[in-house]
């Protein structure tokens, strides 16, 4: 993951798969230019959605009645 230092835009060079992981977590550290530098951390949560999820079609292949 890369963070643009000017815009704050996040870029991820990975594929997200809803079937494997519905959320991705990352921790970002921000530093300033003070002497000594001050820093803080932020937690980023990416909620992965399944945009091509189709409802399953259920078919009955046989029935047994006793």
* pLDDT tens for each residue of 6-60: 887 888 888 888 888 999 898 888 888 899 999 999 888 888 888 776 665 666 6
Cβ atoms of 50 and 18 within 8 Å: the answer is yes
- Predicted pLDDT at 62: 59
Residues sharing a CB contact under 8 Å with residue 25, sequence separation 6 or more, in sequence order: 43, 44, 45, 46
- Predicted pLDDT at 64: 58
- Predicted pLDDT at 65: 54
Is the pLDDT at 66 greater than 60? The verdict is no
Cβ atoms of 50 and 25 within 8 Å: the answer is no
Residues paired with 31 in a beta bridge: 39
């Amino acid at each position: 993951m890369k963070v643009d230092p000017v815009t704050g835009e996040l870029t991820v060079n990975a594929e997200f798969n809803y079937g494997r992981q519905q959320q991705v977590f990352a921790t970002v550290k921000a530093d300033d230019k003070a002497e000594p530098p001050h820093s803080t951390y932020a937690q980023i949560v990416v909620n992965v959605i399944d945009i091509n999820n189709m409802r399953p079609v259920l078919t009955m292949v046989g029935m047994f009645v006793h």
